[in-house]
Chains A and B, each alone.
Chain A
Amino acid sequence: MPEDKKEKPIVITPDEGEHHHDHAHGHHHGHSHPPSSETVDITLEENFMERNKKLARNNLQFFEKHGIRTINILGSVGSGKTSLVEAISRKLAHRRDEILVIAGDVTTTIDADRIAQQGVRTIQVNTGVECHLDAKLIQKALQSIDLASTKILIIENVGNLICPADFPLGSHLRLVVVSVTEGPWMIQKHPVMFHEADILVINKIDLAEVMEVDVDQLERDAKQINPKLVVFRTSIRKDIGVEAVIEHLGF
């Protein structure tokens, strides 16, 4: 652990009334001159997911323009997301000035504090009541910091295998961490998340035998949903398999 350089995380929270949307444009299908009152159909066709998708596309353009390689790390609470970010930061200590971490959490700065111990710049985004990071929060976090030296952006999402699947952030890659301690059904129960992912890290493999979880089966479940998924097996705590993940990320 580097002693000479400790970073303190910046903390970002959502604005009040963040949920404004583009103005709706309807079409009037009713009669043109109502005598007294009438019921009309008004077409809205307003897609609430489109706004986030548009912001995510803007984020990706921004990353491309500034040469920042971005990954979105997802997974349940306790699967090993923060440990993976710590391990990447430690192994890339010689490039730590190029690394920026955005850590998403509902209310605490525990994750960002842990990561900042590795000497990398860290922004804590507290979502307040929300269960996921969205593209707007990422945009806002990026405005809070000088990105001149940044080449690698690691986004650690809120611990949740459900909601973040609905909210792309504009990252180059989506990496999901599952651990054998979550039991044998995590992948089958959350198929959308794995369908959307590029990389799967199966963590805590040193505990697979104790947990009586078949790692081969986990991998088969994931590949069944998403044949293009690239799968790694790790024990981040025991430093098994992490270097292969970093190599694949292209950092």
Chain B
Amino acid sequence: MHEFSTAVSIIEAVKRAAKDYGATRVTGITIQIGKLSMLNHDQLLFGLEIAAKDSVAEGAKITIEPLSIKIRCNQCATESVVSQEGALYEVLSSLTCPKCNARDINVIQGRECVVKDIQAVIGDES
């Protein structure tokens, strides 16, 4: 359960960016979370709402985009995106290089938690 501390870190980064750009209000935040990350999306959203309270980011529309798992084959070096959906056990159990069928692969994407961008109001709104 590290959703809340992650949420606080995200809002801190958003606040810094808003300050750097002289933004008066942040209206949107887009976050990307890898499909292998242990972060629970609902808990993170809840944490973000609380962390954003009384800040420039209060009320911002938060969008979470899942980031696909990407693998690199250790035999033939092919990189591929894993399109299989469903239970993680099934997905991880069938990670195989689509080119040479090797199971000797490395996961190169899917564990991230990235603040991709924010939408911010700059200037006097009145």
- A165 located at the interface, meaning its Cβ lies under 8 Å from any Cβ of chain B in the complex: yes
Residues of the B chain whose Cβ atoms lie less than 8 Å from the Cβ of A130: 2, 5
- A248 located at the interface, meaning its Cβ lies under 8 Å from any Cβ of chain B in the complex: no
**CB within 8 Å of A: which B97-126 residues:** 103-104, 107, 111-125
The answer to whether B121 touches A48, judged by C-beta atoms less than 8 angstroms apart, is no
The answer to whether B119 touches A166, judged by C-beta atoms less than 8 angstroms apart, is no
Given A19-B5, A21-B12, A40-B119: A28 in contact with B21 (beta carbons within 8 A): yes
- B88 located at the interface, meaning its Cβ lies under 8 Å from any Cβ of chain A in the complex: yes
Question: Distance in Å from the Cβ of A231 to the closest Cβ of chain B?
Answer: 16
Residues of the A chain whose Cβ atoms lie less than 8 Å from the Cβ of B77: none
**CB within 8 Å of A: which B1-58 residues:** 1-2, 5-6, 8-10, 12-14, 16-18, 20-21, 23-24, 27, 36-39
The 8 Å CB contact of B89, one of A36, A162, A191, is: A191
Given A19-B12, A228-B104: A44 in contact with B115 (beta carbons within 8 A): yes
Residues of the A chain whose Cβ atoms lie less than 8 Å from the Cβ of B119: 39-42
Residues of the B chain whose Cβ atoms lie less than 8 Å from the Cβ of A41: 117-119
Residues of the B chain whose Cβ atoms lie less than 8 Å from the Cβ of A36: 123-125
**Complex CA–CA separation, A68 to B3 (angstroms):** 33
- A45 located at the interface, meaning its Cβ lies under 8 Å from any Cβ of chain B in the complex: yes
**Complex CA–CA separation, A217 to B39 (angstroms):** 28
The answer to whether B111 touches A49, judged by C-beta atoms less than 8 angstroms apart, is yes
**For the side of the interface on A, what is the size category?**
35 or more
Question: Distance in Å from the Cβ of A49 to the closest Cβ of chain B?
Answer: 5
The answer to whether A224 touches B115, judged by C-beta atoms less than 8 angstroms apart, is no
- B76 located at the interface, meaning its Cβ lies under 8 Å from any Cβ of chain A in the complex: no
**Complex CA–CA separation, A224 to B116 (angstroms):** 34
Given A227-B103, A228-B104: A44 in contact with B89 (beta carbons within 8 A): no
**Complex CA–CA separation, A232 to B74 (angstroms):** 25
**Complex CA–CA separation, A195 to B34 (angstroms):** 15
**Complex CA–CA separation, A163 to B6 (angstroms):** 12
**Complex CA–CA separation, A44 to B52 (angstroms):** 17
**Complex CA–CA separation, A218 to B117 (angstroms):** 43
**CB within 8 Å of B: which A45-73 residues:** 45-49
The answer to whether B2 touches A26, judged by C-beta atoms less than 8 angstroms apart, is no
**CB within 8 Å of B: which A4-48 residues:** 19-21, 23-24, 26, 28, 30, 34-48
Given A24-B17, A37-B123, A162-B38: A48 in contact with B9 (beta carbons within 8 A): yes
- A225 located at the interface, meaning its Cβ lies under 8 Å from any Cβ of chain B in the complex: yes
**Complex CA–CA separation, A36 to B125 (angstroms):** 7
B interface residues (Cβ-Cβ under 8 A, vs A) = 1-2, 5-6, 8-10, 12-14, 16-18, 20-21, 23-24, 27, 36-39, 88-89, 92-93, 103-104, 107, 111-125
9 interchain pairs (CB within 8 A)? Answer: A19-B5, A20-B12, A24-B20, A40-B21, A46-B114, A131-B1, A166-B38, A192-B92, A224-B93
A interface residues (Cβ-Cβ under 8 A, vs B) = 19-21, 23-24, 26, 28, 30, 34-49, 129-132, 162-163, 165-166, 188-189, 191-192, 195, 224-228
